[in-house]
Amino acid sequence: MPDISPPIDQGASARTSRASNSAFFDRAILGRATGDALRKLNPLFLVRNPVIFTTEVVSALVTVLAIRSAITGGAWGFAAGIAAWLWLTVLFATFAEAVAEGRGRARAESLRRARTESRAKVLVRPDDRTLWQPRVATDLKLGDVVVVEAGDLIPSDGEVIQGIASVNEAAVTGESAPVIRESGGDRSAVTGGTMVVSDWLVVRITAAPGSTFLDRMISLVEGASRQKTPNEIALDILLAGMTIIFLIAVATLVGLASWNGQPPSVTVLAALLITLIPTTIGGLLSAIGIAGMDRLVRFNVMATSGRAVEAAGDVDVLLLDKTGTITLGNRQAAAFVPVPGVSERELAEAAVLASLGDETPEGRSILTLARDRHGVTSQALPADAKVVPFTAQTRISGLDADGIRYRKGAVESLIKAVGAEPLPALSQAVERIAWSGGTPLAVAKEGRLLGAIELKDIVKPGIRDRFTALRTMGIRTVMVTGDNRLTAAAIAAEAGVDDFIAEVTPEDKLRYIRDAQAEGRLVAMAGDGTNDAPALAQADVGLAMQTGTQAAREAGNMVDLDSDPTKLIEVVEIGKQLLITRGALTTFSIANDVAKYFAILPAIFVARYPELQALNVMRLTSPESAILSAVIFNALIIVALVPLALRGVAYTPVGAAALLRRNLLIYGLGGIVAPFLGIKLIDLLLNLFGIY
């Protein structure tokens, strides 16, 4: 039986991502973000952000001073202006985070529409799909067995235990083409809220109410379960330390100025403190982290935490399965190669019997080839037949029928299992198949080797260029495959990977990952099967396929809704973009302070020390105008950088040294030049309107 999976447009989600990113601010998001930004002014919320919390405290202090001056008849206009812009600084910071969350919330609303209230058909007896009783989907428990037929919504997450059907997963993945879900393979996991298009499935429920995959997705995209990453925490500590240092420096200026008999006002000192502490990156830091996860969501990848996204940016070893990732997958039987003394038809008949219990696409292709080439039709399993399932440890499968053992599997494993002597003719055939990039499967009947089946796969177009780009990024690519070393070497050379692991077992994958981590490397891996679960759990970035088994999805810290294993490459790029964006805006924020020194410090002390006028390189109109212009620029620059924080700094695969030079040139130098231009422009506008 040929594989009937519909073709999947792998570029669909990428096009969706680009289309989504083209509209950063839609009116609905902006309106809701404004209200959220006001609610986030709550000090209990802001205390988690030391820089913005300090800004809010100082804003409240200056507001009180302005009100007191107004009541006592003193000059209050300058203090009121400073207070207003300090409050706007806090508001713009909370607005940036609210916009980032709003984009995720919009995605969550579409997911909620997929989680409609539905009825489940719970089987009274798991072996009789015609005998069921209705139950509300939210009342389903772990282990319940339900039947879903054409037109039914799958009521909750589960594992297919019987049947094969087309399922429309557009509500979750956005992909309109239906996909095949079936029992007995790596496409057995189904998601609540998706719809059966044809045929029927019997599903065992694997998620408790409120903890389904869709529920977790909604929580993640809303940011409800987002935790700060280690780098984010470290940067928070750095920003808090810088805030304390500048606070001490400003307090020191009070004593210095008092000794000279002209202490600055509290309002001026407050303005100096807020313009010197890193409010720009402090206001954007949370938005950058949320936007990083949002970019993954728009690429149809769900990360269980920001830590996984951040780790993706630091990955330097990438493990990729050969089949379906580097090659097109769904290997098809291409030829029967018998040994001398065995006819091709005899080999085909034995291969068919060995494949009757094999539900994989490869197993079905063997049945198709035998039918088309030799008229050998598949038959129902004999009543007394015993299926020997394939396992990653034995790497063989087969059937025991009428007292005869039929086996097929990896050549070396099968020879060892049946205890046969290696045949020179078989070895030559296997070597020829392997060197051509195919995969040989040996076939045995009652311990006698009959020949080999040639399975063919094709390396994906353009994959070599992508691996070259990864190498430029400093990432080592490793292909893992169950094929023999000759086949693996041929595919690895054609694809251009750095290394390969052949005849791999789950233990081999786990051992390789642990060894790499022991050397201080961060490892990413993609997988979809239960046998991939240990390695997915061990890897720093484990990308599980949505079509994969429940065990794989639970073990990984990311899930790809499109089930495209090559998307791991884009995940790494998004992680790197997150780190680069954070670093670039931190550089810009700190560089800003250099220009602010030239604006505020001369304004504070020029009356006492006229020589400081030489530092007024911007030729600002007056001390009051200089101080207010710096405070206004300090607030507006946060809003100006929100689109960059949400979109991310453009990433190109270059070395670390080149990347550092580019960031210093663009964001370091830009962070110095922009305030000079911005503060001068604001000063001219204040003078033009006669404010100062």
What 8-state DSSP symbol labels residue 228? -
Look at the alpha carbons of 372, 374, 380, 385 in this order and tell me if their dihedral is positive or negative: negative
Of the chain, the end-to-end C-alpha distance in Å amounts to: 83
The candidate with the shortest Cα–Cα distance to 669, out of 611, 584, 575, is 584
Joined tokens for residue 550? 């429940």
Joined tokens for residue 63? 């507001």
Joined tokens for residue 640? 């100006």
* CA gap 252, 246 in Å, rounded: 10
Catalytic residue selected from 186, 215, 321, 564: 321
What residue type is 87 in one-letter code? W
* CA gap 691, 315 in Å, rounded: 53
* CA gap 254, 350 in Å, rounded: 93
528 annotated ligand binder: yes
What b/e readout covers 452-475, taking b as 16+ CB neighbours within 10 angstroms?
bbbbbbebbeebeebbeebeebeb
* CA gap 22, 622 in Å, rounded: 42
Decide: 535 and 527 in contact? Cβ < 8 Å. yes
Q: Which helix (H) or strand (E) holds 134?
A: strand 132-136
The candidate with the shortest Cα–Cα distance to 674, out of 649, 638, 645, is 638
Decide: 599 and 656 in contact? Cβ < 8 Å. no
Length of the chain in terms of residues written: 692
* CA gap 358, 68 in Å, rounded: 84
614 annotated ligand binder: no
What 8-state DSSP symbol labels residue 323? I
What residue type is 303 in one-letter code? A
- CA angle at 666 for the pair 663 and 667, rounded to the nearest 5°: 70
Contacts 24+ apart (CB under 8 A), 638-644: 638/89, 638/92, 638/93, 638/96, 638/279, 638/280, 638/283, 638/284, 639/92, 639/95, 639/96, 641/280, 641/284, 641/585, 641/588, 642/95, 642/96, 642/99, 642/284, 642/287, 643/24, 644/581, 644/585
Decide: 572 and 555 in contact? Cβ < 8 Å. no
Active site residue 321: yes
* DSSP assignment of 72-115: HTS--HHHHHHHHHHHHHHHHHHHHHHHHHHHHHHHHHHHHHHS
393 annotated ligand binder: yes
408 annotated ligand binder: yes
509 annotated ligand binder: no
Q: How many other CB atoms are there within 10 angstroms of residue 336's CB atom?
A: 25
Joined tokens for residue 40? 């986030």
397 annotated ligand binder: yes
588 annotated ligand binder: no
Decide: 55 and 49 in contact? Cβ < 8 Å. no
What residue type is 331 in one-letter code? R
- CA angle at 258 for the pair 255 and 260, rounded to the nearest 5°: 115
Q: What residues contact 22, with CB distance under 8 A and at least 6 apart?
A: none
Joined tokens for residue 115? 């989680």
Q: How many other CB atoms are there within 10 angstroms of residue 214's CB atom?
A: 20
267 annotated ligand binder: no
573 annotated ligand binder: no
135 half-sphere exposure, CB direction, 13 A CA radius: 19
* CA gap 669, 503 in Å, rounded: 53
Report how far Cα 641 is from the mean position of its chain's Cα atoms: 23
Binding-site residues for Mg(2+), in ranges, read: 528, 532
Active site residues per annotation = 321
Binding-site residues for ATP, in ranges, read: 358, 362, 390-397, 408
